[in-house]
Amino acid sequence: MASTSTTDRKGGRVRRAVLGLVVAALTIMMLPMTGYLVTGVSQAQDAGQQASQDANPRSEYWREVRDGTVGISTVTSQEANVLIQNGGQNWRQLRNDVIAVIGAWAIVGIILALATYHLLTGGNKLEKPLSGEMVDRWSFADRLIHWYTAVLFIILTITGLSLLWGRTVLIPVMGPEGFAAWANVAKPLHDYLALFFTAGLVVMLLKWMKHNFFASYDLNWIMKGGGYLGGGHPKAGFCNAGEKMYYWTLFFVGGLMVVSGLVLLFPNFGLDREAMQLANLLHGFSSLFVIGFVCLHIYLATFGSPGAFTAMTSGKVDAVWADQHHSVWYEEVKGNQGRSSTGGGAHAPAPAAKMP
């Protein structure tokens, strides 16, 4: 029995030894395989990344192009090494979706507001009947520069708005071919006449600047809305506060319109595309702003203020109109006429004349 037990123990030790040798041998054999396993996982990951890139292999390239990355080009012109400028899409959205749309609603809103005001009030009527006594107001040179600039501005407005709203408004009405034919006329007409308009605007602003500096009584005119909303007619000089605001709008906003337009007319003076896009946006905004003021000016010089229109046709206005709308100036005219008649020697405007 003892020998049997000893034999079993020896057999167990042998089996464990053999099993240990087998495990050690297998371990030694498997260790080199771990490198292949790690390499295989890495290769699988690389294959997945490559497959993702193969789905759109030039995505990184076009992403850099879209960001305005500067490349290399044999063309030597300005910005030739930039394939796509990112600001172009932003400019297009601002021009077409903001300036064009809001500008259209603003112009329509101003016209509707003026029409509503006229229907409700009939305009700013004279408190007394016209006297027939006429007072000199604008010289022939003043009227000539006014109508010269006004006619050109109307033509520029029509052609400019045609280009701004052509795709939305005119193409559905005229068709693509009809609008193309009109644009071929409107675009060069707008460009060339803009130079003549600029000259007229500069002369007009310089010539009339002396009449448009604000005086102390202009604040009261503004507070009372010039009498157009009731409450009597406040004092005003040769130009009332509203006309002065219109003048300085032409001076500053109209000046911006002219300068930005000149930038667009002459694009090859070292300006990049971003500067041209900014000039285009400023030109659109300033032009629409001035057009809105001109609509108000046209109404107040015609239907809104009976007796005003003759100032720019004959150069004369009725004494009743002058006293009601420009009382300070009218008092100066009467005072100058009185000094002239008494031999004071002061230079005076032409004497008032009875309307035939």
Res 103: pLDDT: 94
Mean pLDDT calculated for residue range 306-323: 94
Domain extents for the chain?
2-57, 94-354
Res 140: pLDDT: 97
Domain at 94-354: CATH architecture = Up-down Bundle (1.20)
CA atoms of 133 and 179, how far apart (whole Å): 51
Mean pLDDT calculated for residue range 327-343: 77
Q: Specify burial of residue 229 (Cβ count, 10 A radius: 0-12, 13-18, 19+).
A: exposed
pTM: 0.75
Res 68: pLDDT: 57
- 3-state class (DSSP) for residue 196: helix
Quick: pLDDT tens for 136-188.
999 999 999 999 999 999 999 999 999 999 989 999 999 999 999 999 999 99
CA atoms of 276 and 289, how far apart (whole Å): 20
CA atoms within 13 Å, Cβ hemisphere of 280 = 20
Does 348 score more than 50 pLDDT?
A: no
Does 269 score more than 90 pLDDT?
A: no
Does 128 score more than 80 pLDDT?
A: yes
- 3-state class (DSSP) for residue 84: coil
Q: ∠ CA(273), CA(279), CA(280), 5° rounding?
A: 90
Beta strands in 107-255 (DSSP E): 133-136
Quick: pLDDT tens for 65-108.
666 566 666 656 666 666 676 778 888 899 999 999 999 999 99
